Structures are given as structure tokens and as C-alpha cells.
């Protein structure tokens, strides 16, 4: 009996490894040459798919891809950000309607059964989709997500208080991310890229009155205050929303507000921070575990 030689053992792993490597390279090459990689159209196409699996694959791809340093062009694409904001607005409205309809449906049941029914019928996927889109808007250099994120943050009442609490906290987190990205625009985007973003937003302003146009206007204000000054009506000012949110009964939300002011300046920032620096811990510390 001859023991296997070292060369033989190496071949056992090396040959299949080479075959797999070549196959992966061929697939990547085809993907790069013919499919065109990760473009806004690719992501939007996936997110709009009727097939839930494809939708989630697209969401997963976007969540991973947009955080990469080499995805600057994607993060600085104002039209793509506005397209995502449109989808978030629709998803948020649908979630709101579904939750209210569900709450009305189970209102007549006894309390214990209400909770069971809510847990059974709760629109978890719609909630996850809203939270995904909200988080994604926080990854852009273009703050078109400000009005929608602020809208989520302002919602005190909802049929499902726990998920609403979680959604508000995540929205503030996304706002902080967004603020940090906006602060980094002069450092991380070239002059040409900055000019392109401004031009894209100004093109949107030429469109008829719509929520999309309003999102673009607010974004333009935060990128270039000379083009849209703060006193113009209809602007959503983050410091004003955070200042209102600083009165929330949710203590953790107030902690987040204090942090978010690191990234959003305005006429109400200082007074709100001074008030928060005297916070006596009023309200509740709502603990929401993952999966609630």
C-alpha cells in the first residue's frame, strides 16, 4: 500500500479550486460586460419586481453596495435618491393604511385576542421595506430623504406603538447618517460631482408642484443655502423637527436627537441642546427587542 504523496493531496484541492475560480471569473465577466453591474436602473428594477424574492435580493444588493467607498457616483445620484424617496412615500402610505385597517378590524375583539391577531396579521414585510428604504436614503450625499424621514420621526401615534417607536428611532439614525454625508460633500465629492448634483436638483425644481419637487427643494437648501434660503415657505427644516422630537416621552429618542444635532445645524439647535443638557429623564425608556 502506497501512502498518498503531498503532490497528490494538493492536486485533490487545487484542480477543483481552479475549476471553480475560472467559472466564477466567467460569470463575473459576463455580468460586467453584458448586464452592466449595479446601476440605479438595476436596483429600481429589482425593487419594483412582483416577485418578493427578487425584491429582497435587490434590497440586499443595494444595502451592501451603497455603503462601499467606490459607490460615490450612486450616493451622489439625486435622481436615484428621489426615485427611492417616491417608493418610500408609497410604501409608507400603504403601511399606514394597512395598519389602520387591521386595527379597525380587530378593535372589536377582546384585548388578549387583539394582540394575538395583530401578531398574526401584522404587515411585517411592509414594515421592513419601509425601514430598508428609510435607511437607504440616509446613505446618500443628497438629502432628498429629509422630508420623509422627518415625517416618520414626527409620527407620535400609530396603531402599533412598538414598531412605530422602532421606526422613529431608525429614522433619526438615518437622518444622522444623512447629515454626516452632507457634511462630507465638500471633502468627498469633486467640484464637478457637486455641480452635477445641484444641476439634477434644479432640473427637478422645474417640474410642476409635487412632493418630489418639494424633496428636491429641501435637499437643495441643505446643499446650497444661497439657492434656497431657510425662510422660503414649505421647506422641511431638520433642526425644527428634532427640536419638537426632543420633547418626546421616549428617552432613547431624546438621546438620539442630541446625537443627531452633531450633523444638523439651524436656529433651534443650540436652545434645544441646552434644554436636553438639563434633561431629568422624564417619560419612559421603551425597550424594543429585535423581532417585537
Partner 1 sequence: MATAQQQDTGLVQRGLLLLGGMTALVIVVLLIVLRNPDAPPKSVAARSEVVVPVFVAPAPFPAAVDWRLLVHLSKQLPSAPGWEVRYNAAVTLARRGSLKTPWPVLHDMLDEEQQLRNYRVMLKNGQMVSNQEDATRTVLNALAAVAEWHKKQDQNPKAAVTISGDLLLVYQDVDRLAQSGNTLVRVHADRVRQTFLRK
Between 200 and 256, name the residue whose CB sits nearer to partner 1.
256
Cell of 193: 460631482
**Nearest distance, CB of residue 283 and partner 1, angstroms:** 9
Distance CA 66, CA 83 (A): 15
- Contacts of residue 72, defined as CB under 8 A and 6 or more positions apart, other chains included, come to 141, 188, 189, 193
Mind giving me the DSSP string for 150-172?
HHHHH----SSHHHHHHHHHHHH
**Toward partner 1, which CB reaches closer, 44 or 258?**
258
Closer CB to partner 1, residue 54 or residue 273? 273
CB nearer to partner 1: give 75 or 254. 254
Cβ closest to partner 1, residue 103 vs residue 255: 255
Minimum distance, C-beta of residue 146 to partner 1, in the bound complex (Å): 19
Inter-axis angle of helices 251-260 and 269-276, to 10 degrees? Answer: 140
| Binding stretches for partner 1 (CB under 8 A) | 1-3, 251-252, 254-255, 258-259, 261-262, 265, 269-270, 273-274, 276-282
We find the least distance from the C-beta atom of residue 47 to partner 1, in angstroms, to be: 34
Shortest Å, Cβ 248 to partner 1: 11
Q: How far is the CB of 256 from partner 1 (least distance, A)?
A: 8
Rounded to the nearest whole angstrom, what is the least distance from the CB of residue 111 to partner 1 in the complex? 30
Of 20 and 230, which has the nearer Cβ to partner 1? 230
Amino acid at each position: 500500500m502506497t501512502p498518498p504523496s503531498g503532490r497528490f493531496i494538493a492536486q485533490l484541492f487545487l484542480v477543483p479550486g481552479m475549476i471553480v475560480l475560472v467559472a466564477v471569473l466567467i460569470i463575473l465577466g459576463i455580468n460586467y460586460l453584458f448586464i452592466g453591474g449595479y446601476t440605479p436602473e438595476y436596483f429600481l428594477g429589482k425593487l419594483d419586481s412582483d416577485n418578493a424574492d427578487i425584491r429582497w435580493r435587490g434590497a440586499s444588493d443595494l444595502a451592501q453596495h451603497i455603503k462601499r467607498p467606490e459607490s460615490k457616483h450612486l450616493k451622489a445620484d439625486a435622481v436615484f435618491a428621489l426615485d427611492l424617496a417616491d417608493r418610500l412615500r408609497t410604501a409608507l402610505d400603504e403601511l399606514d393604511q394597512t395598519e389602520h385597517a387591521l386595527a379597525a378590524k380587530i378593535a372589536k375583539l377582546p384585548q388578549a385576542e387583539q394582540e394575538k391577531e395583530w401578531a398574526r396579521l401584522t404587515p411585517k414585510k411592509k414594515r421592513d421595506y419601509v425601514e430598508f428604504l428609510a435607511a437607504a436614503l440616509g446613505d446618500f450625499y443628497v438629502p432628498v430623504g429629509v422630508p420623509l424621514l422627518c415625517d416618520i420621526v414626527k409620527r407620535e401615534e400609530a396603531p402599533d406603538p412598538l414598531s412605530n417607536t422602532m421606526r422613529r428611532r431608525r429614522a433619526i439614525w438615518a437622518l444622522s447618517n444623512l447629515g454626516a454625508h452632507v457634511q462630507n460633500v465638500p471633502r468627498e465629492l469633486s467640484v464637478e460631482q457637486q455641480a452635477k448634483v445641484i444641476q439634477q436638483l434644479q432640473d427637478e425644481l422645474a417640474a410642476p408642484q409635487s412632493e418630489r419637487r418639494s424633496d428636491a427643494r429641501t435637499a437643495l437648501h441643505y446643499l446650497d443655502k444661497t439657492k434656497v434660503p431657510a425662510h422660503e415657505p414649505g421647506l422641511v427644516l431638520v433642526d425644527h423637527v428634532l427640536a419638537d422630537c426632543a420633547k418626546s416621552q421616549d428617552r432613547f429618542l431624546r438621546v438620539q436627537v442630541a446625537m443627531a444635532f452633531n450633523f444638523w445645524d439651524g436656529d433651534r439647535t443650540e436652545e434645544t441642546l441646552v434644554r436636553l443638557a438639563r434633561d431629568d429623564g422624564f417619560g419612559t425608556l421603551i425597550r424594543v427587542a429585535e423581532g417585537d
